Amino acid sequence: MYKTFAIEKISRRAVLRGLGITGGLVVAAPVMSRRGMAAYVTGAGKMPHGTVNNPRVFVAITPDGMVTIIAHRSEMGTGVRTSLPMIVADEMEADWTRVQVRQAPGDEVKYGNQDTDGSRSTRHYLIPMRQVGAAARMMLEAAAAKRWNVPVTEVKAVGHEVVHSGTGRKLGYGELAADAAAQPVVAVADLRLKDPKDFRYIGKGRVSIVDLHDITTGKAMYGSDTRLPGLKYAVIARPPVVGGKLVSFDATDAMKVPGVEKVIEVRGWPWPSKFQPLGGVAVIARNTGAAIMGRDALKVVWDDGANARYDSIAYRAELEDAARKPGLVVRNNGDPEGALKSADKVIVGEYYLPHLAHASMEPPVATARVTGDKAEIWAPVQSPGGTREDVAKTLGISPENVTVNVTLLGGGFGRKSKCDFALEAALLSKAVGAPVKVQWTREDDVRHDFYHTVSAERIEAGLDKSGKVIAWRHRSVAPTIASTFAAGAKHAAPFELGMGLVDLPFDIPNIRCENPEASAYTRIGWFRSVSNIPRAFAVQSMVAEIAQQTGRDPKDMLLDLIGPARIVDTGVKDMWDYGEPLDSYPIDAGRLRKVVELVADKGNWGRSVPKGHGLGIAVHRSFVSYIATIVEVAVDGKGKLTIPRVDTAIDCGTFVNPERIQSQIEGAAIMGLSLAKYGEVTFKNGRTVQGNFDDFPVVRIDEAPIVTNVHIMPAGPDVPPSGVGEPGLPPFAPALCNAIFAATGKRIRSLPIGKQLEST
């Protein structure tokens, strides 16, 4: 299916003419109480600007019957630009072949929160999008009833037209558009949502992504593809050490490069400063290639600042040492200290995971056109609303004067939640008085990332004589994302604690979680699934280690530790649960068990495998979804890994687009394999050692799993939707390393695997 994608303001106005726009209706949170209306509350109302469910904002119909639906979240590969409009289309009985999707600019007052992160889009917008669609449908029905002068109860919208039951008369949506626009918006309390059994698109997986044709023909417009009259192309030399600054530069040779037009300083902000640019020296040219060659010819002197002593090898020892000493207690049940002392056996697992770079295929890039007190941005940002605010602050202009056009994102993974690259473009456009595109090279991307944090995880499990786990102490030590916002932050933020540490769902009487201090020496940021990566690795490796030491089957051990189906009470006051109310999204041990059982069944756990092969299993709840993975690995005599098969079971509640859930989980296996096998960013003298795919490798097709099977739990329409984009990642690496242990007897406790298997 071919859909157009335009973000020009003129098109937007044309779109919005359809139903006639007034101000947005902002609701605090989607609360539904009527039967069949999904009675659950989400945390959407607590997000900046909440949600908007006004059909006038999201839907327009032109007289030719074309329905335009606004996508207000950013498309980075999850399929959200298709899934959310599809919900509206289904609920309003629109024919998807007569729907076009247009991307909203950054405007959260109008559209509601647009931060496309935290695997939140479907869970926060399923109900608001259904409300938008239902209201539009009822307005069309009311318009038809009025036209025919019949009671509205006698008409019904079906398949892009309204039908009168008594006479069989029909009016198409195009014919009704103007009259429908004149109808009042139906109040939420009066909305009739469709019975889920009547869904045409939701939950079916029959709809391809709207950008599919454009992607396969090179027409899809990413951040890097913006072209404007008079556009200048820039690359920037940035301080190699976070907190460093420019001392001086010599542009003589750079200016000799054909096509280079200007070399200027870019303002930098002291670290930490949230997402503000690092500063440096920009080379402006007639094309990007000339700008890159010009930068290569620059001579720059930097003051490296205090982080010049950052050495990640030395820091590893510091983190591991901290994990061996008591730290801030962030969860305590029972008497873990006493239980560990009295235990018959204590098993200790120490795990280490390094910094990672996001390395989305499209490196950061943005275009800005600043004229006077107005700015227009074209950028692949996950946070269009935040970008608008930050551009306004950086330029000292009003947010109303900033337009952020959201392009497609060539991957995001959390990197593009930080809009530093858009701020650079804005500063440069203002400085040179022309539109400027700032292109980051791959080296810029790897060396100036907001890195996934480095982490040391230490777990002690105390067992009684029967082999039952009676005590569990988990110390998690990692520089916090909070350090990117405030100097000196040394403890995990509540949202980091809630990602796989204090939310431990195990049925153990004595549990303690501790968070010793850790300082940051570089920029730390969100990376797909965030702190869940190290926590799931540690916890799920530990389960397999206990199974091994007690002679149990790892899957049985896992189910024993999860314990009976129940709602888990961690005892942690005001525990962060992915920003959701615990009433709607409790930690449900029953659902966790069921994905383990589903994957064990579908993945044929316990099957016999050839010599040199092994099976590993892991399960993890994150982004309020439940996911279990079985990996089959084969390790040859030289330590080379192949992955014949992966099975993943996911319970993400009620779901919208199973075809895209499948693709996200397939992709999570690849990214999980990448970080397990190779993922490591190191620092020496404060500088990132790696720079490109030669020294920061990611998995290629010749080493990818031969097959990844995805098993989606049919949760039913009354189970609130939960995350999909991120939660596939955390269980993969521990499942893989558990499989490697089964195959070789070698336990991997430190990632990446690198050359650790070469001696086996």
Partner 1 sequence: MIKLTVNGQEQIWDGDPSLPLLWYLRDEIGLTGTKFGCGHALCGSCTVHIGGQAARSCITAMSDVGGQTVTTIEGLDPNGDHPVQKAWRQENVPQCGFCQAGQIMQAAALLKENPHPSHEDIRDTMSGNICRCGCYQRIEAAIRLAATGA
Residues found near partner 1 in the complex (CB under 8 A): 75-79, 208-209, 211-213, 215-222, 224-225, 227, 233, 257-259, 286-290, 292-293, 359-363, 408-413, 439, 441-443, 659, 663-664, 666-671, 692-694, 698-702, 704-705, 707-708
Smallest separation, CB 694 to partner 1 (Å): 6
Residue number with CB closer to partner 1 (194 or 232): 232
Return d(Cα 74, Cα 54) in angstroms, integer.
19
Find tokens 């951040």 and name the residue: 223
Smallest separation, CB 416 to partner 1 (Å): 11
Residue number with CB closer to partner 1 (355 or 415): 415
Residue number with CB closer to partner 1 (74 or 750): 74
Smallest separation, CB 336 to partner 1 (Å): 39
Return d(Cα 726, Cα 535) in angstroms, integer.
14
Return d(Cα 618, Cα 306) in angstroms, integer.
41
Smallest separation, CB 288 to partner 1 (Å): 5
Return d(Cα 155, Cα 145) in angstroms, integer.
6
Reference 454, options 270, 266, 253, 318; nearest CA is 318
Residue number with CB closer to partner 1 (467 or 667): 667
Residue number with CB closer to partner 1 (405 or 750): 405
- Where b means 16+ CB within 10 Å and e means fewer, 121-139 reads bbbbbbbbbbbbbbbbbbb
For 104, the token pair is: 């909203």
Return d(Cα 636, Cα 646) in angstroms, integer.
18
**Burial (CB count <10 Å: 0-12, 13-18, 19+), residue 692:** middle
Smallest separation, CB 595 to partner 1 (Å): 21
Find tokens 């959201």 and name the residue: 406
Residue number with CB closer to partner 1 (18 or 118): 118
Return d(Cα 517, Cα 323) in angstroms, integer.
9
Residue number with CB closer to partner 1 (152 or 220): 220
Residue number with CB closer to partner 1 (397 or 668): 668
Residue number with CB closer to partner 1 (207 or 463): 207
Please compute, for residue 616, the number of CA atoms within 13 A of its CA located in the half-sphere on the CB side: 32
**Cβ–Cβ under 8 Å, residues 211 and 3:** yes
Find tokens 């946070």 and name the residue: 383
Reference 366, options 295, 440, 457, 417; nearest CA is 440
Contacts 24+ apart (CB under 8 A), 198-201: 199/90, 200/90, 200/96, 201/86, 201/87, 201/89, 201/90, 201/96
Helix (H, G, I), strand (E, B) or coil at 655: coil
Smallest separation, CB 359 to partner 1 (Å): 6
Residue number with CB closer to partner 1 (461 or 634): 634
- Strand 436-439 relative to strand 232-237, pairing: parallel
Residue number with CB closer to partner 1 (377 or 729): 729
- Name the DSSP class of 488: T
Smallest separation, CB 237 to partner 1 (Å): 15
Range list of H helices, 366-417: 384-395
**Cβ–Cβ under 8 Å, residues 644 and 636:** no
Smallest separation, CB 670 to partner 1 (Å): 3
Smallest separation, CB 637 to partner 1 (Å): 20
Smallest separation, CB 557 to partner 1 (Å): 29
Smallest separation, CB 231 to partner 1 (Å): 8
Smallest separation, CB 344 to partner 1 (Å): 44
Which phi-psi region, left, alpha or beta, contains residue 230 (left: φ > 0; alpha: ψ -120 to 50)?
Answer: left
Please give the single-letter amino acid code of residue 494: P
Residue number with CB closer to partner 1 (195 or 694): 694
DSSP string, 19-84: T------EESS----STTS-----GGGGSTT-EE--HHHHEEE-TT--EEEEE-S--SSS-HHHHH
Q: At 355, give phi and psi (nearest 5°).
A: -60, 150
Smallest separation, CB 740 to partner 1 (Å): 20
- Cβ atoms within 10 Å of 307's Cβ, excluding its own: 20
Smallest separation, CB 667 to partner 1 (Å): 4
Q: At 649, give phi and psi (nearest 5°).
A: -110, 135
Residue number with CB closer to partner 1 (26 or 228): 228
E runs forming strands in 294-364: 299-303, 328-333, 345-353
Smallest separation, CB 663 to partner 1 (Å): 6
Helix (H, G, I), strand (E, B) or coil at 615: strand
Cis-peptide, bond into residue 196, ω within 30° of zero: no
DSSP H or E run through 661: helix 658-677
Residue number with CB closer to partner 1 (459 or 673): 673
Residue number with CB closer to partner 1 (75 or 424): 75
Residue number with CB closer to partner 1 (288 or 403): 288
Contacts 24+ apart (CB under 8 A), 149-158: 157/92, 157/93, 158/93
Smallest separation, CB 534 to partner 1 (Å): 21
